[in-house]
Amino acid sequence: MIKLLRIDERLIHGQIVTGWSKLLSVSAIVVGNDKAASDDIVKMSLKMAAPQGMKVTIKTVKEAIQLLNDPRCESMSILVIVDNPGDALEIAASVPGIPEINVGNYGRQEKEANRRKSLSTALFANEDEIDTLKKLLDTGIPCHVQMTASEGKEKLADVLKQA
């Protein structure tokens, strides 16, 4: 069962290891990222960054969708991580049962080059990305912005009102 779909440019890192995986009591992390799935060094680095003993799978977005729709995943407790709103939307539209979507860290890298504007400390987005985030809201899945597991949640809809 999926516990959370998180958008985080850094994919697996310290906050995932020390905060999110423990808070959610997950037994597995599925990274849906085309670039990472095709780079053995990135895959190795992400697996090394994961909590000890945690099952980590790095797949293309399409492969992640197939995996997450496999009935065998129902018995697992899964954190799904993507690095952008478009991939989150693709997974949200294709995988039933996602309880919530968390925007944890997006757009801070290369924010000037992509003409992104600050919507919160954890979210920078340009107009196309804002449109995609609005489509995430249209899925009906609760969406919030929350950088760390210890911070309070902010509704994505409220954050997007600033756009």
Residues serving a catalytic function are 13
CA distance 144 to 16: 17
Burial 6-34 (b: 16+ CB within 10 A, else e): bbbebbbeebbbebbbeebebebbbbbbb
Does residue 81 sit in helix, strand or coil? strand
Task: List CB contacts of 157: < 8 A, sequence separation 6 or more.
Answer: 137, 143
